[in-house]
Amino acid sequence: DQSVCTPLPVLGRDVTVPLVTGGEVTYAALDYAASAPALQRVWDDVAAYAPYYGSVHRGAGYLSQLSTDLFENARATVAEFLGCRADDQLVFTRSTTDSLNLLAAALPAGCQVFVFETEHHASLLPWRDARVRYLDAPRTPGQAVETLERALADRDPDEPALVCVTGASNVTGELWPVRELAAAAHAHGARIVLDAAQLAPHHPVSVQDLDVDWVAFSGHKLYAPFGSGVLAGRADWLRAAEPYLAGGGASRKVTRRADGGVDVEWHDSAARHEAGSPNVIGAHAVASACKALTEAGFDTLVARERQLIDAVRAGLAEVPEVRVLSLFGDDAPRVGVISFVVDGWNSSHFAAALSAEYGIGVRDGLFCAHPLVRTLLGSDPQTAGECGAPEAAPGEKSLNAIRVSFGAGTPDEHVERFVNAVK
Ligand code: PMP
């Protein structure tokens, strides 16, 4: 039913790009998984506020008070969007990468971290200074839970532990069994952080419903501009940790000691990890995006996205040379993120041709998830592609893949143009 929902207005819908074949065409942004276009409504909200901004938590003037209110209201709006518990903390960060690095810096002493090798590098790499155990790629959601259960059963139960898992893969778009993984983690006395960078733009994410301890996401994938992200969840580890950045705003009292040194008392609130002048426009933009998605209604957005996913998958299935990459199989629930390779084609050339000949923007590469993409392509880690390295020659086995991704702002025409171009 096409009346399910019309695409939400986003920036850049009328941008035209030149084609190598001559003429120009409106740009089809099909790389939402990297950065989604900002909602027009978010942009308007930011523009409406921009003349009034002043420093946050620092100034006595009217505009400083206004900005402080706006920043703290944004925090409350996003916490509500995420279904946070009353005593959770919500820290504004720069991005998901920043949020997970913050949590990694706040791990209690001796903490063990459990993470699947299939994660995005932002979830895979920040823990390398801790005792981290990388888990093999599961082939079903059930296997993911079993693998985690087995790994946790082996651990020393007296030591703190953290599981880090994605909600939706940035490569396959497949949903991970977050609720079950959270239950497994908690049954073994571990905590869990959800990387919702790809999930939050497509599905409602509730910390309480999923029973996760923390959630992280990025504004620029959730229809807000770049530069703002969120880490929300349990306050205790965050409060006990050294501030992520040392500086003004994080410190409650700083005194000079008799021996010439300096003593600091840090804030216990989220401000502890928000030193420096915060990104009030970014926080405002994220809150505005959360409101816009809530008002549009996730039931409606999910139903519309399902139509687009079905159209892309049906179109790709008609091309025998196309192989869609999947960990959990064809029937797995997924968001609008689909990666594939085309027999006889170099993925980078293919993506470049979609751009140059059809005005379609997709992504090619290993999508900052090298171990997962290599597993899916069956490529040898020693010879497989790396960021910036040349792709396989035409006719050779692909070392990279092509990714098409879309969401709330995608019109049918973009998906139709993509399917026809691939054909
Ligand atoms: N996790 C996942 C699943 C992602 O897809 C991404 C971005 N591609 C990130 C984390 C990192 O997000 P950011 O680049 O905004 O920090």
Asked whether 344 and 394 are in contact (CB, 8 A), the reply is yes
- Give the ranges where 324-378 is alpha helix by DSSP (H): 347-358, 370-377
pLDDT tens digits along 187-218: 999 999 999 999 999 999 999 999 999 999 99
Rg from Cα positions in the chain: 22
Does 352 score more than 70 pLDDT? yes
pLDDT of residue 399: 81
pLDDT exceeding 70 applies to what percent of the chain? 95
What ipTM did this prediction achieve? 0.99
Verify whether ligand 1 is closer than 6 Å to residue 228 (CB atom): no
Q: What are phi and psi of 95, to 5 degrees?
A: -175, 175
Residues 6+ apart with CB under 8 A from 53: 63, 66, 67, 280, 281
Among the listed residues 195, 194, 200, the one whose alpha carbon sits nearest the alpha carbon of residue 224: 200
**C-alpha neighbours within 13 Å on the C-beta side of residue 131:** 10
Residue 368 CA to ligand 1 centre (angstroms): 8
pLDDT of residue 234: 98
pLDDT tens digits along 56-85: 988 889 999 999 999 999 999 999 999 999
Domains of the chain and any CATH numbers? 2-30+297-422 (3.90.1150.10), 43-295 (3.40.640.10)
More confident residue, 58 or 222: 222
Asked whether 91 and 99 are in contact (CB, 8 A), the reply is yes
Asked whether 85 and 207 are in contact (CB, 8 A), the reply is yes
**In the predicted model, what is the mean pLDDT of residues 95-112?**
97
pLDDT of residue 381: 64
Residues 6+ apart with CB under 8 A from 415: 30, 308, 311, 312, 315, 406
* Amino acid in the structure at residue 418: F
**In the predicted model, what is the mean pLDDT of residues 124-130?**
94
Verify whether ligand 1 is closer than 6 Å to residue 122 (CB atom): yes
Q: Hey, which of 98, 205, 218, 366 would you mutate to test ligand 1's pocket, going by the most ligand atoms within 8 Å of its Cβ?
A: 218
Lowest mean pLDDT among 18-27, 263-272, 341-350, 381-390: 381-390
pLDDT of residue 58: 85
pLDDT of residue 387: 65
* Amino acid in the structure at residue 246: A
Q: How confident is the model at residue 1 (pLDDT cuts 50, 70, 90)?
A: very low
Q: Where are the beta strands (DSSP E) in 1-107?
A: 16-18, 24-26, 28-29, 89-93
pLDDT tens digits along 257-310: 999 999 999 999 999 999 999 999 999 999 999 999 999 999 999 999 999 999
Active site positions, annotated: 368
